[in-house]
């Protein structure tokens, strides 16, 4: 669990530093797959989809509380086995990665930009965001549909 968390946090921070180094200005981009995927530097001062934009200290407090909650309840969250332990680690690493950005700069660095031509744009995101989404989805899925032990 902690190995997964540290690994996600490390690669999240590494790729964000590479994005900042490679793109000197907010909004700069490189087209990877025309009409579908770009690498685009975006600074997000809010949470997902820019919610609570400019509320740095609230977002830091909520992130820190969630991280403490997960660490405190890690045995319960991961009692389903190795898979749930790794998914809990993804969640912890994702929160820690974005929390690090908020503490250091007041905004989260995003750079994955998926879109469909000029019609639909998915919000730009990063490795930490991906880890949080995968971790939450898998933990919820296993809680809702996993095999139950009869006690």
Q: Pick the catalytic residue: 38, 101, 110, 113?
A: 110
DSSP helix/strand/coil, 44: strand
| Alpha helix stretches (DSSP H) within the chain | 2-22, 56-72, 74-77, 82-105, 127-145
User: Distance from first CA to last CA of the chain, Å, rounded?
Assistant: 26
Q: Pick the catalytic residue: 38, 101, 113, 129?
A: 129
Q: Show the tokens assigned to 139.
A: 């933990």
Q: Give yes or no: 113 in active site.
A: no
Name every residue whose Cβ is closer than 8 Å to that of residue 18 and which is 6 or more positions away in sequence. Answer: none
Q: Give yes or no: 101 in active site.
A: no
Give the residue numbers marked as catalytic. 110, 129
């Amino acid at each position: 669990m902690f190995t997964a968390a540290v690994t996600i946090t490390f690669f999240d921070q590494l790729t964000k530093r590479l994005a900042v180094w490679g793109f000197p200005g907010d909004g700069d981009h490189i087209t990877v797959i025309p009409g579908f995927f770009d690498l685009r530097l975006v600074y997000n001062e809010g949470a997902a989809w820019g919610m609570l934009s400019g509320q740095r200290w609230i977002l830091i407090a909520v992130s820190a509380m969630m991280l403490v909650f997960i660490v405190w309840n890690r045995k319960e969250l991961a009692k389903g086995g190795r898979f749930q332990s790794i998914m809990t680690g993804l969640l912890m690493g994702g929160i820690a990665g974005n929390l690090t950005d908020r503490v250091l700069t007041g905004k989260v660095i995003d750079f994955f930009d998926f879109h469909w031509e000029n019609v639909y744009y998915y919000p730009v995101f990063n490795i930490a965001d991906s880890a949080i989404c995968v971790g939450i989805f898998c933990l919820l899925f296993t809680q809702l549909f996993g095999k139950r032990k009869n006690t």
